[in-house]
Structure 1
Amino acid sequence: MFNNMRAIDIRGNVGPAESLYMAEIPKPIPKEGQALIKIKAFGINRADIMQRDGEYPVPPWAGRIMGLEFSGIIEELGENSESSFSVGDEVFALAYGGAYAEYITVSTHMLIHKPPHLSWEEAAGIPETWLTATKVMYKIGEFTRGKSILWHAGASGVSISGIQLALSAGASAVYATARSDEKCDFCVNTLGATAAFNTTDPNWVDQVMKATNGKGVDIIADLIGPDVFAENLKIAAKDARVVLVGLMSGFTFKKEFDMGLLAFKRVRYEGSTLRSRDEDFQRKLRDTFVSEALPQFQSGQFKVHIEKVLPWEQIIDAHKLMETNKIMGKIICTID
Structure 2
Amino acid sequence: MHPTTLSRRQLLLAGATSTAALWLPQARAQAGWPSKPLRLVVPFAPGGSSEIVARAVAGEMAKTIGQNVFVDNKPGAAGNIAMQEVANSNDEHTLVLGHIGTLAVNPYIFPKLPYDANRDFAPITLLSKVPSLYVVHPDLPVKNLKEFIAYAKSKPGQLNYGSAGNGSAGHLAFEYLKMVSETFIVHVPYRGTGPMLTDLMSGRLQAASVGAPALLAFIKAGKLRCIATGTAQRLPQLPDVPTVAEQGFKGFEMTQWYGLMAPRKWPAAHLDKLEAEAIKAARGSVVKDKLAQETALAVGSTGKEFDAFIKAEQARWKPVIERAQIKPEGTG
TM-score normalised over the length of structure 2: 0.33
TM-score normalised over the length of structure 1: 0.33
Structure with more of its chain in helix, by fraction: 2
Which has the higher relative contact order, 1 or 2, with Cα contacts under 8 A spaced 6 or more apart?
2
